[in-house]
Each structure stands twice: as C-alpha cells, then as structure tokens.
Structure 1
C-alpha cells in the first residue's frame, strides 16, 4: 500500500511538472525536453530523437562576415560613358552572409587542380582538362603577352595573384570542391573522420554523399552516437548536428554590390552591446574604398597621390611612370594589395572584375526586393521509383540530380515560375515570354552572367560597385576572376546567441 501511495505521488508530481512546463513562460533557449510533447531529447529510452547543442555557425576559411540589410542598389554616379541605363537605383535588402576577403588566388586554384589530378587523373583525365584555366586568355594579336601565358598561373612569383582565365562554370565547380574539402577537414579535426589522402574516383568525400550515408570514409574515434534504439550505435554526421557548413558559392549580384559599397561605414552610430544602432546613413559611397569620390590618397604624407585601387588612368597609362608608379601594378596585383573596405574585403573596386551568380538582363526592376536574384534552376536528387530512396552516387562520388518537372513544380503551388529553369522568367520578352533570340537580335542569353567591379585594365568609372557588365558562362578573360560567399544561417547578427533572432526587451522599468 505504501509503495502504491508513493507511486501515485510521483505520478502526480510528474504530471504537475509537465503541466507547469506547458503553462509557464519559457526562455528562448530550448531545454532537453520538447516543449511540444514533453518527451526528452537525446534519450535512447524514449526513441533517441537528437537535439544538437549548437554553438553557432563558425566562419569558414578565408571568409569574413557581412551583416545584411537595406541598401540602394544601382549606379553611384552619372551613367555618362555608356548610357545603358541598366543599373537604375532601387531599394533592396539582402540577408547576412560571409564573403572571401580576397579574390581566389592562383595558389588556391592550383591546389584544386592538384587534388583533381591525384583523385581522378588516372581514370578521368578529362575532368582536369575541363577545370584548368585558359592561360591563353592573355593573348592579344598586337601585344607581347607570352610570358603571362606561360608563367602567370604556374610560377611561384604569382602565387597570390588573382586567378584569371576561369569561366563561370569552372568557378562554380571550384566552389563545390571547396565546400567538400572544408567540411571534410572540420570532421577530421572533430575526430569524426580520419585523414585519407588516397581517395580516388567514387570513393571521395562529398558533403551530401556523406550526410546521406553513401560515403563512410575512415571512421574517427569520436563518431556520432546513434541514439536510435534500433540503430547501429554510431552514425555519420548530418546537417542537424551543426558541424557541417553551408556550401561555398558565387555571390549574387546584389550581395556582391552590397558588400562592395560598404555602407556600414557610413552609419554614424552602429549597434553595440549597450545600444541599438542608428537606422540612417550619412553618405553614399561611390567606390568600394569609401573615400567619397576620390580615387587617390590626398593627405600630405609619403602616400599622397597613390591610387586606392588597381585601375587604368587613361589610354596607355596602366601604372604611372617610373619612379612614381600610381598603383604599383601593371597587371593584377596580389590579392591582399590596397586597403580593405569596411567589411575587410580587398579589391572590390579594381584589380580584377568578378563573376556573380546572376544571369544578366538589361534591367533588374522585375526582381524581388528581398534577396533579388535571376538565375534559379530548380533541381532535385534522382530517386529509385520502388522505394523513393536516393540513387547511388556516380563514378566520381556525387549523388545524381535532375531538373524538377513542370508537374512537380505546379503540384506544390509554391513557385511563381512554372518551369524548373527560371533564368528568363519575366525578363521583358513579351512575344515569347521565355525566349531571348541569342545571336539574332541580342547577345544576352540564359548563359550571360553578370560580372561586377572594375579591373586593372578599366577606367575609374568601372570601379563603381553599381556598374554592371556580362560575359557568357563559357568565356574567360585576363581581367575577370572570382571570390566565394557562404550563406549565414540563423540570426543575421553573428554576435547574437545562435538560437535567437528578432528583438528582446527584457524586464521593463515603469516610469
């Protein structure tokens, strides 16, 4: 009888605790008990649903944080040289993200080629040839550029100069490779995997292949515990565990322009831990270096007259005169040259122009005002019809994908476009609604990609972040390179608690 009373007492106490948990005001930090069901997380006796103790997104190698916000996208000065009117100012907002401090350098891209050669060189040499930059991009019929053709990409003297001769498709593949190598090293350092320098063909680490259980690798000593009572005891890391970083990718045009113009530096009172920041800018930069409309150092000291960036002053003048070089660079300069902007980004105006993710159209007025972007091509993983499981990885270690069908898109009613390829959606072609007649009445096609920022061979006008040009995705140039970005997940403020977002006011004092 006594045991029954104690049992009933414990039952009532548990029910009271559960009721209290459901009815009381909880903090923004989740506990180890579900506020939806009352079940414990990470408890194998209750099914083992895992909840990671997430410390927040770490900053990937080479990246710096760019806090998002509202800005005026478009021209920062009169459109006098071109009269194209393809960058009419409009207000948009971008989310926070991370961006490479510098352009991708020759040494970084050679590291990529070296890895491809070790991994696929024996059986798939065409992959190395496909990835190799076009070193002949330097050739011009009436210039002697053969030394640059021969040495610029391969010689140690140019290790930390921006890689050029890389087309848009190659830049995309570099981003994918970089994502996998960064995540692989994270797992190695966390003890989830052991080093394996002898990966070949399909037996290579790929982030998605690993996360979906199609790559095992050499298991480390700290592999994740599998709390599923019917599981194997250990498992691979997945995205819910918080270790894996999002993909490196090319920046959208809006992201690139927002980061380059650096309006954060014109906020008179940015936010601190003690006070909210001002929601106003005192000025609008013309160039990425942020010094009003000046292109050269004006203070009377040893730097007076030096250029803030690497660009061409005029016809036949790419660097000034001997004994007084104005930018100290006749071709691209090393990636850490000149001063960074307010976000810590180097050479956003000058040095080399840079690929963006966007498909080019002469206007961007039809784009959304939040995270504007043209270039979506919706894909999904290929699945086996019998059980809807993912198809096995292919011969180079990637899970196969395919474009989404029109039926799949229309079934959800979540897409404004009814086609998986939305690159030409609402592009102003009223006759066909979807087709640009490339080569007949325009050089703009779905393969035309936006390039931003002036280069070492451009005049000062092109240093403005608002200027825009385009190249075909399969083309390359000695004046065009690229840098990568990564999405910021969670709160837009990097210094905020990783589980927070929005405002919290605390206890208010009555006046």
Structure 2
C-alpha cells in the first residue's frame, strides 16, 4: 500500500475543511437554514470569506504585546514621558518607506488636473520648502530643488505639516479604491472615462458626476449612474431592487460594490504612536515560541550604530548626525552617504521589512502629545487623540450625505459616545453621555483646551495643547539618541520642518496572524448542527 506523507494528509484535510467552510459560507445560514445568494427568498448576499491584503506600498505588521518605552535605557532629557508599560498592538499595515517627493508630486498633479481653477486647494497642499532656509547656512538651493528636481524624487518629502499628511492619506485612500473599482470594471474604466480627448490632450470626460471619486460617498450609493457605472458591476439579488431605481444593464439589475464584498481597502492614515514604536523595534525577528531572545535599543540588534557584517563592517546603519559638524563622514569615504536626507530605500530594512525607521526624517504619528500619556492609557491599541465625528446628512430620511465643494462628506463633531435613539436622532437632540463631567458635552479628552471644568492646564501653563502631535524616529540632523524608537517629541500640527516626514498605515481586518508558516493550527471539523439541519 502506498504511504501518504503526513504533509500530504494534512493538506488534504485542510482542503476538506476549507471546502466545507466555503460551502457553508455561500450556501445557507447556520442559524435560519435559509439559502444565501438566492434572489427568490430575499436575496441576502454572503461573499466567500476573504483575507484583505495590504494596499499599495504597505507591508503587513503582525501585532502582539510589547513593552512600550522599554527600549529606552537612558532618559538623557529627564523627560520621563515614556515610562514602561506593557501594551498590545493589533496587526496592521504600514508603508515600507517614507512618503517620497515623487509621491507628493503625484498628489499635487492630481489636484491641479482636477481643480485647475482652485488655487487655494493647490496652495494648501504645497509643502513649505522654506523650511530649508537658515540664517547662517547656505541651504537656498534646496528651497527650489528639493521637492521638484528629479535628483531628489525618491527622497522623503519634508516641510509637510501633520494636517497635510492626514489630507494626503485621505486622498490616497480614494485614489487606491478608485483604481481597484475601475480596473475590475465596477466603475467606468479610465480609457472610456476620458474618451474623446482633444488634440491638445484635454480630456472630454463622459462622466455625469462633476465630483471626483470619494470612498464614503460611493459606499453610500451617491456615486453612480450614466458615465460612472462600469460594465462588470455586481448583480443585485434583491427582488425589490427593480423598483428602487437600481441601474439595469446587460447583466440585469446591478449594484455598486458594498463594504461587505471585501473589494475596497481600509482608509490610509497616520500610524498611532504605539504602532510606530512597535513596528520600528520589529522584535518579531528575535522571537521564537513567545520568547524574545534579545531586546533592542534601535531597529536592529546590538548596542552600536555600525554594521557588524564582514562586507559592510563599520558602515553606519542609518542616516543621522554623528557629532557636531559631522553630517556625512569624511570626503573620500562618506560613511552614511548622505548629507541631508537619503533616498527612502536606503540602508538595511528592519525585520518587518521597513526602511529608515531610524534616522533620515522624523515621522509624524497620529497621537496628541501628553507628557503623562503612560498614566492614562488603554493597554490594547493605546492612542490619545480621538475626535469622533459623524457624517452630516443632507436628507435624513434617505440617508444622503452632505458634500463639500470637493465632493467629500462633511463631518461634524459627534454629539454622543453611544448610539442615539431614533427619536433623539430625528429631533437632532444629543443624548447625554454618562462620562460627561459637570454637564460638559461629550469630548474624548476632558483635559484639553475645550475643558470647561479646569481651564488652566494645557496651552497656558505649558506649550502642550491639543494641537501638539507626537513625532518619532530621529532625522538626518539628530544625534543617535533619537534613533531609539521609544524617544518621543512633539510639534504643533500646523508646523513643518526640513527634518520631518511621514509614512502611512492601514488597519488590518480579520484574523491577526500573518506569519502562519510552521505554526500549529487547530483543525475545524464540519459543523454537526449544519449537517442535521440538512
């Protein structure tokens, strides 16, 4: 009798498990027995379970527990603002590199192309290239050249405020999702969209919408119709869809993509401080069976900043300032090979595959800075800076979002921290939140500048306020101390610097385990309850 290897047997079992799960998922409800995806019984649609992958430019970061602030073995500034505490960071995605100049020029080009007559929009998106000016330094050539000259196209964009970085993330989300929908035929493809372009190259769009694509507006069913819908839209199995104005085509009644379809990506955003510190340390490279063999004080192993490997021995592992007046080493042997910033894919990536998590440029995080953040934090996904918002409705009965002049949903501060009753929603009355202090309206941070109880804490007796944002990582002009992922500083969210850049992150949905190779897994037998119901 021919023997089957244990690996082949495991593969067969796994295939069977997946097949049974797949049949259940697209077959029938395990709780009602009703068939899924059946246009005759109501048309409730269930897609095959998908593990959403990262968006363009992102790398998967498997989360876990770590000691935030634990890599800081000396506090030279005696700030005591990142005292050690154990936290858990959920799995997420993070940009492999810092956002570069060419990435930002793509953003500026899109604005100019779509809003040629809106000088204010373009101007507000421009980085502040004057950050290079120093009274006692001849840095003037960087003012005109650093952002736009092709010699610097793969260098990190600088002079960008925290607010501009967030605006870029929102724009990037819409462009990535639009590309997905158009390439798959759910929206009209770009070639058809710009059909009939004149000799001068001006696109004669056939779209009936004057607004660019926006993910939230699309998911709310407000971005569709002639000149927008694609040729491969999904069938609408709802029997009543024919009478609700759903667009028919050759396939019958069709609908836009829904969040439940698993097609669209999650929003790009700035990483939280905890996410950034966790990703920079990359302790997963030193972990086996939940045991961390070696701690780190930099994104690499060892106590030094030079490479120990034979071929690169002595070379500095990041772009930083070694000492006073030493930004790049000695002529004839430039050790870190950079005077100011370096290309975003320089040096050796850390064990997560992320480049320049130490040096090159400091990077914005999403968090509001508080010196005592460690005293008041959640141990799962810690973050300070929540400002909850609701999308404004222009038609409450139909659930239509109000849009600004750029076709984006208008967002208002949330009135409550919990779901309102229908009567409260209709009367536009805010529910009283149980966490309100002395009758103060709902606010996630009662110690901020909006505090009506204690008004003399932030922004008056200190420079810290609700517009102070954490940045981390060290830059080309910083000493090695700041390369430690646990160090933290702050800057106002509307300020910029020649030493400040950023990278984006994205939430990972679904199971957190990414590195499954060699890891034991429980097998899932076929459901007995489902078998009996059949």
Q: Identify the TM-score tier after normalising by the shorter chain.
A: 0.7 to 0.9
CA distance in 1, matches of 2:314, 2:83: 32
Q: Distance in 2 between matches of 1:189 and 1:402?
A: 33
Q: Secondary structure at the match of 1:45?
A: coil
Match of 2:237 in 1: 227
- Normalised by the length of structure 2, the TM-score is 0.82
SS where residue 30 of structure 1 aligns? helix
Asked if 1:88 is matched to 2:115, the reply is no
- Which range moves more in the overlay, 325-334 or 201-210? 201-210
Verify the 8 A CA contact 2:178 2:213 in the aligned structure 1: yes
Q: Which residue of 2 aligns with 1:150?
A: 144
Distance 1:421 1:159, change over 3 A: farther
Residue of structure 1 in register with 2:105 after alignment = 110
Does the aligned pair in 1 maintain the 2:58–2:95 contact within 8 Å?
Answer: yes
C-alpha deviation, 1:218, in angstroms: 2.5
Q: Aligned partners of 2:443, 2:213: CA distance in 1, in Å? A: 29
Residue of structure 1 equivalent to 2:351: 342
Distance 2:504 2:160 in 1: 14
Matched, 1:169 2:187: no
- Aligned residue number for residue 8 of structure 1: none
1:447 aligned onto 2:467:
yes
Aligned-partner Cα distance in 2 for 1:139–1:95: 41
> In structure 2, how many angstroms separate the alpha carbons of the residues matched to 1:429 and 1:180?
32
Identify unmatched segments of 5+ residues in structure 2: 1-19, 195-202, 247-252, 420-429, 526-534
State how 1:397-416 maps to structure 2 within 5 Å: 397-406=407-416, 411=431
**For the residues of structure 2 that align with 1:429 and 1:252, how far apart are their CA atoms?**
23
Which whole-Å deviations, capped at 9, do the CAs of 1:294-343 have from their partners, x for residues lacking one? 10023444x22210000000000011111121200000100000000000
Change (3 A) 1:218 1:415: farther
Instruction: From 213, 220, 224, give the equivalent of 1:205.
Output: 213
8 A Cα contact 2:470 2:488, kept in partner: yes
Aligned-partner Cα distance in 2 for 1:482–1:381? 27
Q: Deviations over 1:55-102 (max 9, x none)?
A: 320221100000000001015233342111111111000100000000
Distance 1:113 1:249, change over 3 A: same
Q: Trace 1:41-440 onto structure 2 (pairs within 5 A).
A: 41-122=36-117, 124-193=118-187, 194-195=189-190, 196=193, 202-216=210-224, 218-231=228-241, 232=246, 233-267=253-287, 269=288, 278-288=289-299, 290-301=300-311, 303-365=312-374, 366-384=376-394, 387=397, 389-406=399-416, 411=431, 419-422=441-444, 424-425=445-446, 432-433=453-454, 436-438=457-459, 440=460
Q: CA deviation at 1:434?
A: 6.9
CA distance in 2, matches of 1:126, 1:171: 17
Matches of 2:402 and 2:81, distance apart in 1: 45
Deviation at 1:496, TM superposition (A): 6.7
Q: Which residue of 2 aligns with 1:457?
A: 477
Q: Indicate yes or no: 2:498 matched with 1:504.
A: no
Q: Is the 8 Å Cα contact of residues 72 and 91 (structure 1) preserved in structure 2?
A: yes
Equivalent residues of 1:202, 1:395 under 8 A apart: no
TM-score by length of 1: 0.85
The alpha-carbon distance between structure 1 residues 228 and 416, as it changes in their structure 2 partners (threshold 3 A), is farther
Deviation at 1:253, TM superposition (A): 0.1
User: Closer, same or farther in 2 for the Cα pair 1:488/1:393, shift >3 Å?
Assistant: same
Aligned-partner Cα distance in 2 for 1:31–1:209: 28
What's the offset of the Cα at 1:394? 2.6
* Distance of 1:350 and 1:454 partners within structure 2: 5
Which stretch of the first structure deviates more once superposed, 310-319 or 232-241? 232-241
Matched, 1:486 2:506: yes
How far does the alpha carbon of each residue in 1:155-212 deviate from its partner, in whole angstroms, 9 at most, with x for none? 0000000000000000000000000000011111211112246579952101111111
Residues 217-276 of structure 1 deviation map (CA, whole Å, 9 limit, x = unaligned): 532211111111121311111111110010000000000000000110111x3xxxxxxx
Residues 362 and 472, structure 2, Cα contact 8 Å, conserved in 1: yes
- CA shift, 1:453, in A, is 0.4
CA 1:351–1:35 in structure 2 vs 1: closer, same or farther (change >3 Å)? same
Contact 2:25 2:47 in 1 (8 A): no
- Structure 1 residues 414, 64: closer, same or farther in 2, change over 3 A? farther
Contact kept in structure 2, 1:377 and 1:420, CA below 8 Å: no
Distance 1:248 1:416, change over 3 A: farther
Give 1:466's aligned residue.
Answer: 486
Answer yes or no: is the 8 Å Cα contact 1:77–1:286 preserved in 2: yes
Deviation at 1:506, TM superposition (A): 5.5
SS of match in other structure, 2:158: coil
Take 2:260 and 2:396, find their aligned partners in 1: how far apart are those partners? 27
Q: Secondary structure at the match of 1:147?
A: helix
Q: Alignment RMSD, CA only?
A: 2.6
CA positional deviation for 1:414? 8.3
**1:394/1:431 CA distance change after superposition, 3 Å:** closer
Mapped to 1, the partners of 2:218 and 2:325 lie a distance apart of 53
Q: Secondary structure at the match of 1:182?
A: helix
Q: Could you tell me how far apart the structure 2 residues matched to 1:400 and 1:478 are?
A: 32
Equivalents in 2 of 1:426, 1:287: separation in Å? 33
> Is this contact kept in 1: 2:73–2:297, CA < 8 A?
no
